[in-house]
Amino acid sequence: MFDFSVKDRVATVSMRNEPVNALTLAFVEQLELLVDDLETRDDWNVVIIRSDLKIFSAGGDLAGMLSWMSAADADKRVAAYAHRVQQLMARFENLPGVTIAFVEGAALGGGLELALSCDLRIATAKAKFGLPELKVGLLPAAGGTQRLTRQCGRGVATRIMLVGDILSAAEAVHVNLVEMLWENDQAEAELAVIAGRIAAMPREALGIVKGCIAGQDAADTDGFALEIIGIEKLVAGGEAKKRIARFMQRPDA
């Protein structure tokens, strides 16, 4: 269901769960194992998650959920599945390196929730985005209601979830759902450039800055204090001193 590779500190995860990369239990289990691996290895600074299919991901496993509906504990089963996926998305969000969702087709439901758990969303012109769960009487319970509202604001989140609008790639950029949009013939080259720039950053600093950004809207966190703790840690580690010295030796510094 996944192809995984690492080169020059750039990890690439290619999804292939035909026909639409649905978040089946098997898919979720494999992604959990992948996150286990990413959490423990230190040979990557950036991970790109993308699809080998025409669609990024159509989201939750509706066929699987429907098969549970006749059970007496259907509500508990579906809630447990949603909780499991929600926890997985949180783990993906909190990976120590930078995560990029590279979206070339539709990212719907859980597929968009996966993209929202990434640090950056990069799209091509063929990409589409939506959370259409309400149409089948459900809700985006893998973090979608929270992350979309945080990313785009309450008005946009209301439009996408309650109205059921599917956004084009251009619209997604306009509402701040996508950070970068490239034409299809430019996308691979541009993606390699961005990933390479991130991969060249010091790994510890990447993780600390991610934590500071996340602390900005956390009610129980002082983001300014995180900055001081973080810079003290980075100086103590010695990497900053080496990089500053190299920078100062450059003729154009």
DSSP-derived 3-state class of residue 123: strand
| Closest alpha carbon to 112 in 134, 94, 129 | 129
Confirm if 122 and 152 have CB atoms less than 8 A apart: no
How far is it, in rounded angstroms, from Cα 185 to Cα 150? 31
DSSP-derived 3-state class of residue 165: coil
- To the nearest 10°, report the CA torsion of 196, 122, 95, 242: 30
In the set 133, 227, 232, 239, the catalytic residue is 133
* Cα 79–chain centre separation: 22
Would residue 133 show up in a list of annotated catalytic residues for this protein?
yes
How far is it, in rounded angstroms, from Cα 151 to Cα 172? 11
Give phi and psi for 61, each to the nearest 5.
-85, 85
In the set 18, 29, 39, 113, the catalytic residue is 113
| Closest alpha carbon to 186 in 247, 102, 129 | 102
The token duo for 157 is 């989140």
Would residue 113 show up in a list of annotated catalytic residues for this protein?
yes
How far is it, in rounded angstroms, from Cα 87 to Cα 58? 19
Catalytic residue numbers, as ranges: 113, 133
